[in-house]
Chain A
Amino acid sequence: NAGVTQTPKFQVLKTGQSMTLQCAQDMNHNSMYWYRQDPGMGLRLIYYSASEGTTDKGEVPNGYNVSRLNKREFSLRLESAAPSQTSVYFCASSKGVGQDSYEQYFGPGTRLTVT
């Protein structure tokens, strides 16, 4: 089992460009999450999907959109990248919500630089 996979691993964008970060999990988990990690700020939740067909905003959703394509895949889109979106992005999954959401499995991350 690969667990949680993310593509790409690295990306450099110019301001105003768009891109989609891909995430897939093979653990048959119901819930999936997108976080960004910045120095001194910890992990901040961007969007999450409690189950297939649902998505909800997290702490820092502005400038992002998400799609829960199916149970396995959850993508994050930057429509018009800004330098403030330079960060490391992590996708995570969990069995479900409630207590099941506290054990999250993380992917290896995507390092994004916006110039």
Chain B
Amino acid sequence: QKEVEQDPGPLSVPEGAIVSLNCTYSNSAFQYFMWYRQYSRKGPELLMYTYSSGNKEDGRFTAQVDKSSKYISLFIRDSQPSDSATYLCAMDSSYKLIFGSGTRLLVRP
């Protein structure tokens, strides 16, 4: 079993929809939870990160962590075609990151 699981998608939504992207994990020692966005044929870039449980909001993006369920989510409000990308969750492990395999998102105009 992988330490971090993520549905590969693709997830296809119409422009303006609310998008929910999720990861589950098995290691209860994880404390920091990151979301990276990767456009096609580019390197990933950090979107946001949260520490421990709770919510964090940044513009149209909200990251949510539920440590009791070992479940994290990224919500995108008012999704735009420019949000079409692969979203990777990542978690801390001894000063290194463990990445999920990524969920491909397509926002249709």
Task: Name A residues whose Cβ lies closer than 8 Å to a Cβ of B.
Answer: 4, 33, 40-45, 48, 50, 58, 90, 92, 97-99, 101-109
Which secondary structure characterizes the binding site on chain A? mixed
Residue of B nearest to A38 (CB): B101
B43 CB to nearest chain A CB (Å) = 3
Instruction: Give the CA-CA distance A43 to B55 in the complex, in Å.
Output: 25
**Chain B residues within 8 Å of A98, by CB:** 95
Instruction: Give the CA-CA distance A58 to B92 in the complex, in Å.
Output: 13
B88 and A107 form a contact (CB under 8 A): no
Instruction: Give the CA-CA distance A98 to B93 in the complex, in Å.
Output: 10
The answer, among A40, A48, A102, A108, for a CB contact under 8 Å with B32, is: A102
B96 and A42 form a contact (CB under 8 A): no
For the A-B complex, the count of residue pairs with Cβ-Cβ distances under 8 Å equals 56
Residue of B nearest to A4 (CB): B43
**Chain A residues within 8 Å of B49, by CB:** 102-103
Of residues 16 through 52 on chain B, the ones whose CB sits less than 8 Å from some CB of chain A are 32, 34, 41-46, 49
B101 and A41 form a contact (CB under 8 A): yes
Q: Mark B56-72, 1 if CB is under 8 A from A, else 0.
A: 00000000000000000
Task: Name B residues whose Cβ lies closer than 8 Å to a Cβ of A.
Answer: 4, 6, 8, 32, 34, 41-46, 49, 88, 90, 92, 95-97, 99-102
B63 CB to nearest chain A CB (Å) = 13
Query: What are some 21 contacts across the A-B interface (CB < 8 A)?
Result: A33-B96, A40-B8, A42-B100, A42-B101, A45-B96, A45-B97, A58-B96, A101-B95, A101-B97, A102-B46, A102-B92, A102-B97, A103-B49, A104-B46, A105-B45, A106-B43, A107-B43, A108-B42, A108-B43, A109-B42, A109-B43
A90 and B43 form a contact (CB under 8 A): yes
**Chain B residues within 8 Å of A106, by CB:** 43-45
Instruction: Give the CA-CA distance A4 to B43 in the complex, in Å.
Output: 10
Instruction: Give the CA-CA distance A16 to B102 in the complex, in Å.
Output: 31
Instruction: Give the CA-CA distance A45 to B92 in the complex, in Å.
Output: 13
